[in-house]
Amino acid sequence: AQSVAQPEDQVNVAEGNPLTVKCTYSVSGNPYLFWYVQYPNRGLQFLLKYITGDNLVKGSYGFEAEFNKSQTSFHLKKPSALVSDSALYFCAVRAPVAYSGAGSYQLTFGKGTKLSVIP
């Protein structure tokens, strides 16, 4: 079974500083990895995904994530944080292509990390 760990419940960063939100995963085979952001009382917005290819993935709103297979990590990063980036961030993994059984499209989410950017 696949799983996702977001070790930090909350991350605080000063506006203008770089930010990192950590994510590690456990899955057999090559994973599909996603980052989503959720604002209060809203659904999830897609930020970026890693399927294959370049380990550094660039996404929406200046965010990027680096896939590290040896460390089974997919940390979300941004060079300069904005106050408007304050939200709840979810990392998710989908079963690899070798798995073709029921639930092939299902996403498994981490518990989420609350990011607070301080003015």
Partner 1 sequence: GAVVSQHPSRVICKSGTSVKIECRSLDFQATTMFWYRQFPKQSLMLMATSNEGSKATYEQGVEKDKFLINHASLTLSTLTVTSAHPEDSSFYICSATPGTGRTDTQYFGPGTRLTVL
Distance CA 70, CA 68 (A): 6
Interacting residue with partner 1 among 3, 28, 71, 104 (CB under 8 A): 104
Pair of tokens at residue 75: 């940390």
Neighbouring residues of 106: CB distance < 8 A, sequence distance ≥ 6: 94, 95
**What does DSSP say about strands 56-58 and 64-68: parallel, antiparallel, or unpaired?**
antiparallel
**Contact status: 3 vs partner 1 (CB under 8 A):** no
Pattern 59-98, binding to partner 1, x per CB under 8 A? Answer: -------------------------------x---x--x-
From the CB of 31, what's the least distance to partner 1, in Å?
Answer: 11
Distance CA 1, CA 88 (A): 25
Which residues are near partner 1 by CB under 8 A?
32, 34, 36, 41-46, 49, 51, 90, 94, 97, 102-107, 109-112
